[in-house]
Structures are given as C-alpha cells and as structure tokens.
Amino acid sequence: MHEFEIKFQVPRARRAAVEAALRRHPAPARLRLQARYFDTADTRLAAARMALRVRREGDLPVQTLKAAGAGALGRFEHNVPLAEVDGLAADPRRHAGTSGGEQLLALLAASPAPLAERYRTDIRRLARRAWHRGALLELAFDEGVIAAGERHTAVCELEIELLEGVPADLLDHAARWVRRHGLWLDTRSKAERGERLARAGAGPEPVAPPRPLPRAPGRGAGAAARRDAAVRTLAAVLAAQSELAAGSGGTAHLAALRAGLRRLARLLRLIAARDGRADAASLAPRCAALGEGLPAAAGAALTARLRGAPVQRLWLELLALD
C-alpha cells in the first residue's frame, strides 16, 4: 500500500524525444486517464496532504486514496477497482481497514461538509515497464490538463515508479533520463496543483507557501532521529525547489531553499561525524555550496540553475541516501 515514485517535468523541446525513447521498446501501453478529485468544502483532505480520486483508466474505473509519507517520494496509496454499476462517485468507506483509509474516515467524521468534486484531470499516458539492475520500474509519460471549472493548467511529465526492487536502482535509472533529456525533478503532485487551481478564482494557478523545516534533532538524538530529520528537511528543500524550478516560486521560496540547504548541510555533517557515513560527508559541502551560490532573486537565472544537470544530480544523490 506504499509506493515509491519520482516525477520529472519534461522541457517542451524534449517531449518528442522522450516519447520516442519510450516507443523504442516493445509494446508501450497508451491509456487515457480521466479522473475526478474529491474533497470537502473546507478542503480537509488537502490540508492533511491526502487525495481521493475516481479515475477511468481506459474502460476500468478505479478509486484511489493517496496520503503523504515522511519523505519526499514515498506515499501511501490504496486502489479499489470499481464495477461500472458502482458509478463514479467517491465512497471513502472503500478504503476502510487501511491506515490511510482510517485517517480519511476520521477526518470526514469531524466535518459536516460532504465530499464534492474539486477538480479533474484528463491525461494521455504512454507507459512501459523496464528492468534496471534488480529493479522492475514503470515509466509513464503523461500529457494533458488539470481543470477546475473554466480554469486549466497543462501537464507534461515523466513518472518512474518502483514496482520491485530498491529505490537506489530507480534513482540510478532516473539519472540517465535527466542526463539525456534535461528533465527536472518536481515533487508537486497533480492533486496539489489541482487544489491550487480550484482555489485560484479568476487568477493563475497559485503557489503554495514554503513548507516549514522540521525541528532539528537534540544533542541526545540517535542515528534514526538524525536520518529522519535529514529526510524531512530534504522534502522541504525539494518542495521549495520545485516551485522555483517551475518558475512560479518567489522570495519566500528562495529563502526557504537557502535555509533548508544550510540545515541539510549541518545534518549531513552530523550524520557523517556521528554515524560514520562517507556519503553524507561528501554531500554536505555540495549542499552548502549550492545554497551560498544561488542567484540573489527568483527569476530566469535561478530557474535555469535549478533545472541544470549538476543540481538535479545532487537531488538524486541526496534521495539515494538510505
């Protein structure tokens, strides 16, 4: 019920090349994915970083509940295939008995507001499976639109999901796509983007405020607490860089990114010293140098820097820390 998945935005100039690369392998699947996302009027699910959708995958309707994990890429996911007679309305009871489902039911029990559709997605997906080292991966190239009423925003991204194996093998494979096609990491989900669009009124898609940094571990904290703090700090760093690399972040996101990189460098030095981690020792100065060398203001120069291969390679190496 937990997935490990990484997502990259595909530059316009590389879209044809990415699609061609997927088509070079036998029998890629092409699907049309049409989804409706549900929440209460006071957006309790979005506030809890949960997403409830009913999606038609070809001819098959499926209800899915997703919830955030502790890290940047891991998430809870529970899928329930639906018979056509079930209709396409969301029923949270379908997820009862799962950890995410019980959290969802508790949230809804505390709110008198019923579930209602908030936004939709209409995606054309080209997908195939691939082995890399010992990992079975699913690669999905998505093009389409997220819509809330008359407002809409485009989608063009490559998702790589781990089906079998270890995350390090997925990240190594992802690095190849980054090098070849100039992809850049984006931790914003379609649900997050859709919820912002639903809140936007007549304006453009709004930007989420920076995610706060987790509390630093105390002096007596153990190795597990230090690692957890580093994982959560990295999640906040990647959230800020996703907004800035998209060209939508501002001064607050740049400040959050700098602060997060400083915190992450300190944590990595601590992990290296206390836990003997050579990989953490090598990554700490690179985090510090990136934070110090960022452009002074959000804008085209910052966006280009964050989308560049050296920064993207740093993110993947940080995510590979176990």
CATH superfamily, with its number, for domain 2-199:
Hypothetical Protein Pfu-838710-001 (2.40.320.10)
* pLDDT at residue 180 greater than cutoff 90: yes
pLDDT score recorded for residue 219: 81
Task: Find the angle CA(19)-CA(25)-CA(30) to the nearest 5 degrees.
Answer: 55
Half-sphere exposure of 118 (CA within 13 A, CB side): 26
Coil, strand or helix at 216 = coil
Structural domain spans, the chain: 2-199, 223-319
Decide: helix, strand or coil at residue 86: helix
Q: Output the six-digit token pair for 232.
A: 């959560």
Q: Which residues pair with 62 in a beta bridge?
A: 55, 81
- Report pLDDT digits (tens) over 102-121: 999 999 998 888 999 999 99
Local confidence band at 61 (pLDDT 50, 70, 90 cut-offs): very high
| CA distances from residue 237 to 187, 214, 277 in whole angstroms, order as listed | 10, 11, 21
Give the CA radius of gyration of the chain: 20
What pTM was estimated for this model as a whole? 0.92
| Lookup result for tokens 């997927």 | 22
